[in-house]
Amino acid sequence: MDNKLKVGISCGDPNGVGMEVVLKTFADNRLLDSIVPVLYAHPEWFKQTKKSLRLEEMLYTNVTSAKEAQPKKINLVTVSKDLPFSIEWGKADTQGGEWALKSLEVAAQDLASNAIDVLVTAPINKETISSKHSGFIGHTEFLAKMAGTEEVLMFLVADDLRVGIVTGHVPIKDVAPKISKPAIIKKVQMMRESLVKDFGIPSPRIAVLGLNPHAGDNGMLGTEEKEIIQPAVREMVEKGWMVYGPFGADGFFGAGAFKQFDAVLAMYHDQGLAPFKTMAFQNGVNFTAGLPIVRTSPDHGVGYDIAGKNLADESSFRAAIYTACDVYHARRRFKEFGMNPLQKQNIKESRDDKRE
C-alpha cells in the first residue's frame, strides 16, 4: 500500500463517456496491483454504467474520503448527497454540469490536502458548467486558480510527441494580439522546466512554430514572425536554450520534423492540437505543466454521440493514468537528485574506478 499511488479520478459529465472509459480501464484489474484508484462520483452513476457495460463482477467499495481508500479495489467517494442525480446519456444539461463540477471540486480538494497523489480528469462540457458558474473556463484554469498559479502550460503528450501552446481557450480573433515576445519566452521556459523535471530530459530541444501560413513567408503573409517570434527565439538561444524556429506548422508536422525535437510550441489551440490528435488520438494525454500538483486527462471530449452505447475507447484515459504516475515519480527523482548535488559526480567517479 505504501508504494502504490492514490490516483484520484474526477468522472466528468454523467451524460458523456467519462465513467465508461474509467470502468473500461479498470476492467483489467491488473492495474489495481500498482495503484489505488479513488473515483469521485455518485453510486448510481457508477452502478448504471457498470451494468450497461456488463461489468457486474467489478470490485469496488464506498468510502467517505480518499483517506479510507483500500488497495485492490476501486474506491468510490460520493461527492454530494444533496444534488439531484439522473443519467440521460447524450444529453447536455445543467444537472450533468453540476455533477461534473462537484466531482472536480472534491477531487481537487483531496489533491490539495495530499489525500490523493495525482489527479486524472474525465471529460467535461464547459458550457453546461459555465451556464450556472460564469467564471468557469475549463479544468486547466480551474486548477491554476485553485493552486494560486498565474500561468500554466497545456501540454499534450504521447510517447515522444509533446505539444504545448502559447494561447489557450481563446477565440481565434484574439490570438494574434496575445502573441508577444514575453509570452513566448515564458511558455518555452515552462516547457523546458517541465521536460527536465516531469519527463527526465536534461537538455531539451524545443521547436517553435510560426503564427501565419508558411511562418509568414518573410513578411508577405504577416509580420508576427519577423517582429515577435524570431526575436524571441534569438533571445532564448542567447540564454543557451536549444530553441529553434519559427517553423511553418503545416510542413513541420507533415514532413515529420517534429521527431527531431523533444517538444513543440504552437501559437494557438488548434494549430497544435489538430495535428497532435490526428497522430495520437488513441493514446494522447493532456498534461497541465506548471502546477505544483500532477493533473492529466484524456485528449478527447464528452462524446455525447456515443455515450451509453459501449463504443468509447479507453486507451487515452489509461494513458492519462500512466502519464500521471510517471510524472509523479519523475518529480520525486528530480527532487531527490537536487537534494544530493554530488550524486552525479559520485556516479562518474565510480565509473572511473571500474576502468582503472
Look at residue 159 in the predicted model and tell me its pLDDT: 87
In order of 94, 185, 198, 329, the CA distances from 106 in angstroms are 18, 34, 25, 24
On whether both 85 and 177 belong to a single domain, the answer is no
Encoded amino acid at 170, one letter: V
Write down which residue in 245, 261, 282 finishes a domain: 282
pLDDT of residue 2: 54
Tell me the one-letter amino acid at 85: F
Domain match, 18 and 142 both: yes
Residues 60, 109, single domain; the answer is yes
> What is the domain count for the chain?
2
Q: Is 63 exposed, middle or buried (0-12, 13-18, 19+ CB in 10 A)?
A: middle
Confidence check: pLDDT of 169 > 90: no
pLDDT at 43: 93
Is residue 18 within 8 Å of 48, Cβ to Cβ?
Answer: no
Residues 273 and 164 in one domain: yes
User: Do 192 and 256 have their domain in common?
Assistant: yes
pLDDT digits (tens, 9 = 90+) for 221-237: 889 999 999 999 999 99
Same domain, 10 and 133: yes
Q: Greater confidence, 281 or 293?
A: 293
Greater confidence (215 vs 331) lies with 331
Residues 193 and 228 in one domain: yes
Tell me what the mean pLDDT of segment 321-326 comes to.
96
Say which CATH number the domain at 198 has.
3.40.718.10
Residue (of 122, 67, 140, 126) closest to 293 by Cα position: 140
Range with the lowest mean pLDDT among 172-176, 189-193, 218-222, 257-261? 218-222
Q: Which helix (H) or strand (E) holds 51?
A: helix 43-52
Could you tell me if 137 and 168 lie in one domain?
no
Question: Does residue 235 sit in the same domain as residue 264?
Answer: yes
Mean pLDDT of the region 84-99: 94
295: left (phi over 0), alpha (psi -120 to 50) or beta: beta
On whether both 138 and 243 belong to a single domain, the answer is no
Judge contact between 78 and 62, C-beta under 8 A.
yes
Query: pLDDT tens digits, residue range 260-283?
Result: 999 999 999 999 999 999 998 889
Last residue of a domain, one of 229, 263, 282: 282
Contact (Cβ atoms closer than 8 angstroms) between residue 179 and residue 216? no
Do 139 and 10 fall within a single domain? yes
Question: What pLDDT sits at residue 347?
Answer: 36
Looking at residue 352, its pLDDT comes to 44
Check if the beta carbon of residue 303 is closer than 8 Å to that of residue 312. yes
Residue at which a domain ends, from 282, 313, 346: 282
SS3 (DSSP) at 207: strand
Q: Does the structure show a pLDDT above 70 at 176?
A: yes
- State the residue range of the domain holding 349: 1-149+291-356
Coil/strand/helix, residue 353: helix
Tell me: the pLDDT tens digits for 17-58? 999 999 999 998 899 999 999 999 999 999 999 999 999 888
Segment 195-216 shows an average pLDDT of: 94
Q: Is 64 in the same domain as 98?
A: yes
pLDDT at 61: 94
For the full predicted model, state whether its pTM sits above 0.85: yes
